[in-house]
Structure 1
Amino acid sequence: MKNILVFITFLFVIHSFSQTTNKSVFVNFIENPIVLDANLNENEWKDSKGASGFWQYFPSDSTQAKQQASIKFLFDDKNLYIGAKVNAPDNKFITPSLRRDFRAGGSDNITFLFDTFNDGTNAFIFGTNPYGVKREMLLSGGGSELRGFTMAWDTKWQCKTEIKDDHYIIEMIIPLSAFKYREGETKWRFNSYHFDTQYNERNTWVNIPQNQFIFNLAYMGEMIFEKPLGKSKSPISIIPYVNAITAKDFENKTSITDLKFGGDAKFTIGNSMNLDITLNPDFSQVEVDQQITNLTRFEVSLPERRLFFIENSDLFADFGNNRDSNPFFSRRIGIAKDANDNTIENDIIAGVRLSGKVNNNLRVGLLTMQTAEDIENEIPTVNSAVITLQQKLFSRSNISFMIINKEATKEYDFLAEEDTYNRIIGMDYRLASEDNSWVGKYFIHKSFSPGIKNKDYSAGFSTQYFNRNFSARINGVYVGENYQSDLGFLRRTDIFKISPQIERTFWPNESKIQKHSFSITPIFIWKPELNFKNSDYAIISRWRANFINTAELTAEMKNRFTYLFSEFDPTGTDGAIPLPANKGYAYTNFNLSYRSDQRKNFSYRIEPSVGTFFNGKKYSLTTNLAWRIQPYFSGSMQINYDKVILPNPFPNASIWLIGPKIDITFNKSLFWSTFIQYSSQQENFGINTKLQWRFAPLSDLFIVYNDNYYSNNFAPRFKSLNLKLTYWLNI
């Protein structure tokens, strides 16, 4: 009890250190809708007082912006209206393409963040550039991590821009139904940032220190509505699809011709809850996953892009430790292992998901999905279900609870008892002080599987402190030997890992370097069931410099140790003699990385590396080249080369990964992209070419051609032609 009281006192002390802001902007109520023309000449705009007085975030965070923006808001019973003037030295703006959901870096744009529940944890984000290209996102985790962005989220809204000699005007109409908020609310937390490539400024309405991300939700002002917000009349969204595919699998000598129908439906319950339903979903990807070179012993996690899982995804996916002990990883649903332990697609019959806010402080998430049986491949029909609750604590922290269940809903002769079900219960506490100088996460989870009685826990802790010149972190994770998460992502079990970090940042005056920092990150892993034998360590020493022109230079040294408990071939060479088990290997490598100014038409990133590798040597070179003819053409080339030299009789390898990509945006509705990937490690040469026509808002026609070959002899592997039509209908 004494320890609990000390911990609670510690949390209150942390929350006593805070920064507040009294910046606010008034939002007038109007009776008549605004005409979307980017002129801002209506009397309603003239009578509105704007949000102004932007601060620099880059290159300095202590002066007013040289290129200011002024933002005005209006609202009626259906829509939020945004009008803004963004100043610039001239009209030579940078925009890489006309494709929706662009990234802010290296281009001119303005972004608006709305914390509609005033919790400092989640936000809706809308943005545009001088050419009127739209982007919208969800942000979770308080804006403390880059992975908090959900860029796959889409909603219907309107935007128009007009470019002038020394500024551009934007006008937006966003349906209130695009947001989630409490009926009767009179204020939202709000911030905005804009990038100016000519003056090389990044500016924010509310001043944000540079040791925090520009999108951090701890630093926001307020939007004060003239009258309480009413109940949003949210439409019912019906999103049917039809997918015609013809394919030939040369490896298995099979041909496929299929025509699938199905779709999704989205309902809003009240103003703040989402109900998502999917029937006979088509979870085939029109976007291909990017291949990587994997020289480790572990599986690699790839991001979720499927519509059904997107909104409020953090409610389900942010439990545990995303690298070592993530109990729910949605990409597990829709795939399964066949009788030969091969990973294959598993059809999903239907799914239902309810998620959102019950009130300003409580969020809930419920998910259930049923997958089809596949007797030929010995795959049972399975129900996957998740229940989560998240309660806000203090100003920006929260505590969450979850129950996860994966269970076969029929009995099968081929199904072993230990595979009939897997369940997890757990609790997570996420700490975020009001000014985000303290952040942390603490969790404990327990799994339940047939025949397992002990060592089935996972737990972790993380605490980090920031200020302008110094940051420190201490974290650790434990994964029991028998802990099992069939719907999660676990790299390995029976580990205890700690990974502290300390970093010192310097801010030179009148220098080409905007800031530079030194950090050291020791990472140690032990095996508890082997008398805490040290299985791995890495000590990463890093110097990083950010230049005024946005270029970045990094130099690092990595001292590593790996103990092999089973034999392992790091090259992945067929028939090669693997490195022997029950032996430890210490090795060191040196890395240099340089990223050029992304504002240029041609930019690049180059990363050479040299050093020892297990009992041999490794030389690596990673290069990313990018070229654009704005706004219609952009091209890129990824080249990874790894030369692994091991002593006889172990294998040597030259591993190549080459990935050129061409992206043409004919206009804001018609796009064509081609992605070519060559991987010597996976012995694959693949071509993915896709034509996308957005014939109506959020409604698309895709024509996708995939062609894969064995890279060693160029024999055909797999070919497919896919025509997919989706239509987003609001009722």
Structure 2
Amino acid sequence: MSGPLTYICNRRLRVFLAMMLLGFYGGGPIVVFSDQSNAITTSSASTAQVRTEPEGKPSLRAIRVQKGPEIDGRLDEALWKEAPAAGPLWQYDPLPGVEMSERTEFRIVYDDQNIYIGIWCFDSEPDKINARVMQRDNRSIFSDDYLYMAFDTFHDHRNGYIFVTNPNGARYDQIVSNNIFLNSNWDGVWRAAGSVDKEGWKAELAIPFKSLSFDPRKDVWGFNISRSISRKVERGRWTGAKPHLHTFHVSQAGDILGLTGLKQGLGIEISPYALARMSRAGQDTDMTGDFGTDARYRITPKLSATLSYNTDFAETEVDQRQLNFTRFPLFFPERRAFFLEDSGVFEYGGLPVTGRSTGLGKPVIPFFTRRIGRDNNGETVPLLIAAKMAGRAGKYSMGFTDAVLEDHNGLGVRNVFAGRVARDVWEQSSVGVITTMGDPNSANDNFLVGPDFRYRTSEFLNGKTFEANVFALSTNTDGPSADSGFSYGTSLAYPNDLFRANAQFIEVSDAFDPALGFVQRKNVRGYYTYGSWNPRPTSVPWLRQYHIAYRTEHYTDRSNILETAEHRITPLWLELNSGDEIFVSYIREFDGPDNDFTILRDLTIPAGDYWWNQYRIGIDFASRRKVSGELSASYGDFYFGDRWRVGAEATYYPWKRLGLSLDYAYNHVSFPLGVADAHIGAGRALINFTTNLVWAHLVQYDSLSESVGYNSRLIWEYRPGSKLFAVFNQNYLAENLTLTLRQTEVTLKAGAIFRF
């Protein structure tokens, strides 16, 4: 691609970089980069007495009380004053190892039922505390002032529980496995409250022992806590204040001492539900009712089993719409809580099931639970019964899932199974195996098995993190189309602050067919490399961190003939002290389809070899602001034509009880024999009556399906762990600026939880 736009962009970029390097941009001096743990960014600070994080891991003694405090966020009971205090917290961003600019103290007490955490977040400007989120499990909580707590309840330095709260007492929780995998879909039963006063803000948490797995014979738990001061874009933690580490790395946690006489009860949890549903399509109306239950039993302190009868997923949010500009299938993540709760144990071979990938995306997932309960057309298949067992036994972690599906498409009742076992080796490494059996959407039998090994250390090259993975999988299918196939691969990761690098290789045979897994491409070899240099300038007051990055992704067939390729160079990626980010990228891509294929409904791309160039620029406005979002644009070649795209994301929090967001993208593709436009957008509105009662709305539109979808969910947690749902879904045909209603569904669902 060439032309005036390219010349102007390149000229401005050269001028901007030259000004930065000469130190004229913003009036700053010549830039000096540093990887020192105690860097200071102002001349006045360099002469002040600065406290830095001491060596070793800290500890705090928890105090047993007869009766725990009232959870109101005020922390004014006498028992809090009698408990020893811990603190301060040390910055990991922007000044690693330096004491946070605002003081933080915390205390821990416990009784027969709960462990309680009280945190004092002192603030010299309490009127500027950011507290907008009230909804549970809303990721926007990380844009507020917040506290993030990690508990290593077995003190194994690998696994733990995460609890997050803000000044409103909003809740967000996770499970961490092997110091790496975070599962945000675990919904523990716990309480939180917060308050803001002239001293700053306070938080108070009560976590029932029945919500946690732990060894009652141990009196020490691992613990770490971090705090974010939103307006300053400042973050710190109790221990391990290095930017390449995370608070969920429980291998870096401090200790809670004195936890004696803890009890979990009988370890029985029963969660029944009942629902009523009305569906209408055209003139046809269908009224149904149903009921079911989940029963969980804690076999040992580390291992639990769950049995689910007539499993229902009515409260699950609908999928987010996507547009496909490739010849390969799109990936839609699992959203059903039943399958997500223990999904971390099935993470395998460095191939992430949930969250973003730092490699080839999701080329292979050996066990993808979205295959269970949906047929090949995406239609729901009811689960008659499902069973899970997950947890640990000694040095072994394990997970097993078995599901029986209702008769569909003439296949009869189908049974599927998945199992995963891994053994801890060394401090943070593991070796394991995974297997799946059955095919939910075929009369054939299907079998998958494969070992994997993960090596991980946080002591590489003087305290840096390094990880390596290797795996091998085999599948076998019985029946008229009997066949067997394989996949194997390896990956390396160096995820540190000044320099980051990743590499991955994977091969997938043509006959590799995991019936309970996901494979994006077959008969391929994939190669991925990434490297970035990420200095933190010490003398540019407006700049937090600068990134220069390069990544490449190549796929060949198994004869090493190139199929697709992407080179992405990011010469300019700035993280500002304000929290804003600016980036510019150049992308060169290749595709060599053997057959014609169609995109955007009626644009045909003939077989052939194509190279093209794209240029992308964007700005990300800090999410701490009342109005935040992202603007991006890209322009360049596309196969034998041109493509340009503009995208916008905006979030607005006028006050803590209302949140609004809008995402929109417009694509224009021009070929010599055709032109196509594609629009896709989504709007969300969130009404927070309280932290336990929220009303969420989602409207989606895309021009390819010419349809509008509306999803509304009223969620009331009327007591901890027990919820009521009212779900309303509608789908409209959008033609000629008019909307025609096609389908409506209304569901009322009541659930409860009983624990013994």
Fold agreement, TM-score > 0.5: yes
CA distance 1:258–1:684, change in 2 (3 Å): same
Q: Does 1:406 align with 2:438?
A: yes
Q: 1:211 to 1:555 in 2, by over 3 A?
A: farther
Distance 2:515 2:213 in 1: 32
Q: Which of 326, 334, 341 is matched with 2:365 structurally?
A: 326
CA distance in 2, matches of 1:659, 1:162: 34
User: Secondary structure of the residue that 2:750 maps to in structure 1?
Assistant: strand
Q: Aligned partner of 1:704: which letter?
A: V
Tell me if 1:363 matches 2:397.
yes
Alignment check: 8 A CA contact 1:317 1:329 kept: no
Q: Which residue of 2 aligns with 1:284?
A: 314
What CA deviation, in whole Å up to 9, does each residue of 1:206-252 have, x standing for no partner?
Answer: 1332233454334321222254x5442155222222222222234xx
- Given candidates 428, 437, 451, the residue that maps to 2:452 is 428
Change (3 A) 1:638 1:721: same
Once residues 495 and 124 of structure 2 are traced to their aligned partners in structure 1, the CA distance between those partners, rounded to angstroms, is 35
Match of 1:182 in 2: 215
CA distance in 2, matches of 1:728, 1:156: 10
Greater mean deviation of Cα atoms: 461-470 or 31-40: 31-40
For the pair 1:697 / 2:720, whether they are aligned, the reply is yes
Spell out structure 1 runs of 4+ moving beyond 6 A.
451-455
Separation in structure 1 between the aligned mates of residue 695 and residue 113 of structure 2, nearest angstrom: 35
Please give the per-residue CA displacement for 1:58-83, whole angstroms capped at 9, x wherever unaligned.
Answer: 22213110112111112334321212
Aligned to 1:672: 695
Corresponding residue number in structure 2 for 1:8: none
Residue 596 (str. 1) matches residue 624 (str. 2): no
| Cα shift at 1:108 | 1.0
User: Which residue in 2 is equivalent to 1:55?
Assistant: 90
Matches within 5 A, 1:338-353: 342-353=377-388
Tell me, in whole angstroms, the C-alpha distance in 2 between the residues paired with 1:320 and 1:68. 39
3-state SS of paired residue (1:98): coil
Distance 1:471 1:159, change over 3 A: closer
Question: For residues 308 and 118 of structure 2, what CA distance do their matches in structure 1 show?
Answer: 37
Cα distance in 2 for partners of 1:174, 1:476 equals 43
Indicate whether 1:260 and 2:290 are aligned: yes
Instruction: Quote the offset at 1:659 in angstroms.
Output: 1.1
- 2: CA distance, partners of 1:491 / 1:96: 39
1:160: which partner in 2?
193
1:274 corresponds in structure 2 to: 304
CA distance in 2, matches of 1:455, 1:693: 49
1:392 matched to 2:424? The reply is yes
Matched, 1:541 2:561: no
- Which residue of the partner structure matches residue 459 of structure 1? 488
**1:663 aligned residue:** 686
- Whichever residue aligns with residue 670 of structure 1, its letter is L
Measure, in 2, the Cα distance between the counterparts of 1:703 and 1:453.
Answer: 46
Q: Is the 8 A contact 1:89 1:199 kept in 2?
A: no
C-alpha contact 1:442 1:462 (8 A) present in aligned 2: yes
Residues 32-64 of structure 1 deviation map (CA, whole Å, 9 limit, x = unaligned): 444445454555433322220211122221311
Contact in 2 for aligned 1:390/1:400 (Cα 8 Å): yes
Is 1:73 aligned with 2:108?
Answer: yes
Change (3 A) 1:172 1:478: same
CA contact (8 A) 1:286 1:704 kept: no
CA RMSD between the two structures: 2.2
What does residue 151 of structure 2 align with? 114
Aligned partner of residue 433 in structure 1, secondary structure: strand
1:296-328: CA deviations, max 9, x gaps? 222222332323223331112445634001110
2 CA distance for matches of 1:724 and 1:109?
32
Q: What one-letter code is carried by the residue in structure 1 that aligns with 2:383? A: I
Which residue among 505, 515, 519 is the counterpart of 2:549?
519
**Equivalent residues of 2:303, 2:393 under 8 A apart:** yes
1:15 aligned residue = none
State whether structure 2 residue 340 is matched by structure 1 residue 310: yes
Q: Residue 444 of structure 1 is aligned with which of 472, 477, 480?
A: 472
Cα distance 1:349–1:476, how it changes in 2: closer, same or farther (>3 A)?
Answer: same
Cα contact 2:231–2:624 (8 A) shared by 1: no
Mapped to 1, the partners of 2:159 and 2:106 lie a distance apart of 22
Conserved 8 A contact 1:57-1:214: no
- The change in CA–CA distance for 1:118 and 1:566 in structure 2 (over 3 A counts) is farther
Check whether the contact 1:690–1:703 (CA below 8 A) recurs between aligned residues.
Answer: yes
The correspondence for 1:202, drawn from 235, 242, 245, is: 235
CA distance in structure 2 between the partners assigned to 1:329 and 1:239 by the alignment: 25
The aligned counterpart of 1:640 is 665
1:136 is the counterpart of 2:173: yes
- Check whether the contact 1:320–1:460 (CA below 8 A) recurs between aligned residues: no
Structure 1's 684 and 317: CA in aligned 2 closer, same or farther, altered over 3 A? farther
Structure-2 change in CA distance of 1:694 and 1:31 (3 Å): closer
> Is the Cα–Cα contact under 8 Å of residues 89 and 198 in structure 1 kept in the other structure?
no
Q: How many residues align?
A: 683
Partner residue, 1:7: none
Confirm or deny: 8 A CA contact 2:167 2:193 kept in the other structure. no
Aligned to 2:511: 482
8 Å contact kept, 2:158–2:249: no
Partner of 2:407: 373
Aligned counterpart in structure 2 of residue 509 of structure 1, from 514, 520, 538? 538
Who is 1:561 aligned against?
A: 590
Asked whether the equivalents of residues 225 and 247 of structure 2 are also in contact (C-alpha less than 8 Å), the reply is no
Is the 1:316–1:386 Cα contact (8 Å) retained in structure 2? no
Q: Distance in 1 between matches of 2:73 and 2:627?
A: 32
TM-score by length of 1: 0.89
* Structure 2 residue 256 is the aligned partner of structure 1 residue 223: yes
Supply the AA of the counterpart residue of 1:500.
Answer: T
Q: CA offset at residue 29 of structure 1? A: 3.1
Match status 1:239 vs 2:271: yes
Structure 1 equivalent of residue 605 of structure 2: 579
Report the AA paired with residue 22 of structure 1: K
**1:412 is matched with which residue?**
none
Please, what TM-score do these two structures have when normalized by structure 2? 0.86
Give the whole-Å Cα distance in 2 for the aligned partners of 1:555 and 1:212.
27
| CA–CA separation in structure 2 for the residues paired with 1:217 and 1:438 | 16
Determine which of 717, 722, 728 is the counterpart of 2:747.
722
**Secondary structure of 2:743 counterpart:** strand
TM-fit CA distance, 1:164:
1.6
Give 5+ residue unaligned stretches, structure 2: 1-53, 353-361
Instruction: Supply the AA of the counterpart residue of 1:221.
Output: G
Displacement of 1:587 in angstroms is 1.1
8 A contact 1:276–1:308 mirrored in 2: no
Structure 1: runs of 5+ lacking an equivalent? 1-18, 409-414
CA distance 1:215–1:591, change in 2 (3 Å): farther
- Aligned counterparts of 2:593 and 2:190: Cα–Cα separation in 1: 54
Deviation of residue 715 (structure 1)? 3.3
User: Once the two structures are superposed, what CA deviation does each residue of 1:521-553 show, in whole Å capped at 9, x if it has no partner?
Assistant: 11111111xx22110111111232111111111
Q: Deviations over 1:422-441 (max 9, x none)?
A: 11111121221034610122
CA deviation after TM superposition for structure 1 residue 453, in Å: 7.9
| Partner-residue secondary structure (3-state), 2:57 | coil
Q: After alignment, is 234-243 or 671-680 more displaced?
A: 234-243
CA distance in 2, matches of 1:464, 1:195: 27
How far apart are the structure 1 equivalents of 2:448 and 2:227?
43
Q: Which amino acid aligns with 2:334?
A: E
Out of 621, 630, 633, the position equivalent to 2:655 is: 630
What secondary structure does 2:592 align onto? Answer: strand
